[in-house]
Structure 1
């Protein structure tokens, strides 16, 4: 696990992020979505919004077959963990995603993605309930006023 922005990362948060990274890198959608709620929502990096466990898992499986199999994902930083009532956690994390080709064949370079994750308590640890994934634009970042 990388050096994280948080001085102390709760074990259940660290475990969930480790599962997300490890299962992505293994292209194992069954294991990846074993830590997802039945009513999961996922907004991908280009704004597609998938709802429900079956559709979220299917969409990922299709895109893994088309463009992400073997593309490495590495957790770069946990930028924020917000505890919420009922044991929920709101996470903001940054990933490094390897280069890949889009379904139309366009090459995409290695990129940084910022992901917001709503994690909820499950019987064996935290589960993914909602994700919004955004590619970080280095060009736009130069104009960030804060």
Structure 2
């Protein structure tokens, strides 16, 4: 199953290495194929100091955690997504938060579920009758059935 992960999911995995999110990302080969836009790397670099502070990791430990998590995710250049998917994503996210459009556009382009840690986005998509936005509990159930 193809799954697009958003920034909050990756941050959660880094900050809680023994949590459910990390477990799913690190231990679901064969069940899920994870994808995210390449700009997530910029987000990680931009918030590096914040991640260090919140996690209380050393530089070396944070680098290790990043490598472990990011090697499980395939990065996709947003320029590869067609205008059609961008337009749909912007229309869907405008009433919620347009900054989430890249994740929605990538999900549309790949025919993938969107795993989001953004409750506002999840609720907004549910109100639009979007059934492919999933949460951690959803993925745990799917993995456990596999």
Q: TM-score scaled by structure 1?
A: 0.28
Whichever structure has more strand as a proportion of its residues is 1
Whichever structure has more helix as a proportion of its residues is 2
Larger RCO: 1 or 2 (CA < 8 Å, sep 6+): 2
Q: TM-score scaled by structure 2?
A: 0.28
